[in-house]
Amino acid sequence: MGLFALRGATTVERNDSEAIVGATTALMKTIMERNELRPEQVISCVFTATRDLDAEFPAVAARAAGFESVPLLCAQEIPVPGSMERVIRVLIHYRADDGHSPEHVYLGDARALRADLHAAQ
């Protein structure tokens, strides 16, 4: 088994708990499906949110999706002028077979953040 890391991001329609949890749930589900992962393989997740998203922690969605035993951390993204708004990002560290190739996932308007990663779309 090897140690891997992958990135993902999504956008949120509005700053409320339901929207943040819904977008984070969809992101985590897509990441887990595309990478054929189970929560027990995950070592840790670091979530960031842009400063316009403060109605809920993205980790709430991860815990509800089976990550109760995984260390989760939420932080605020650096507010760079002109950067995309209403974005949740995640960095996931996990174990998988040595031949595994991480598939990064960018959903919604966040696809524009990494248009260079065709596999992430």
List residues with catalytic annotation: 7, 63, 74, 77, 89, 106, 114
52 membership: H or E segment, kind and range: none
Torsion of Cα atoms, 7 then 67 then 24 then 3, to 10°: 10
The stretches of 1-121 forming alpha helices (DSSP H) are: 17-34, 58-64
